[in-house]
Amino acid sequence: MRALVRRQLRQALRTVAATAALLVGAPVAALWLPRPGAWLALSFGLQAVWVALAVRQLRQAERLER
């Protein structure tokens, strides 16, 4: 039981770190990208990354539960 909790905690911390990197990286990316393309890239690019991160977290959590 403790091993499962440790693995779940490790996975959760990885997800939190990835989320924090996205939140910090978005404004930095906005500064580097040209103005018209910045909002489009951030809108569509970040949304795709959010969805991919959520799907990955779900699959990893289900895998750990087995």
pLDDT of residue 20: 93
Structure-token pair, residue 44: 């569509």
Q: How many CB atoms lie within 10 A of CB 28?
A: 9
∠56-23-42 over CA atoms, to 5°? Answer: 85
Could you tell me the mean pLDDT of each successive run of 10 residues in the chain, 66 residues long?
Answer: 89 92 84 78 83 92 87
| pTM score | 0.72
Tell me the two tokens of residue 35: 């103005």
Compute and round to an integer the Cα radius of gyration of the chain: 15
| C-alpha to C-alpha distance for 32 and 34, rounded to whole angstroms | 7
Residue spans per domain, the chain: 26-66
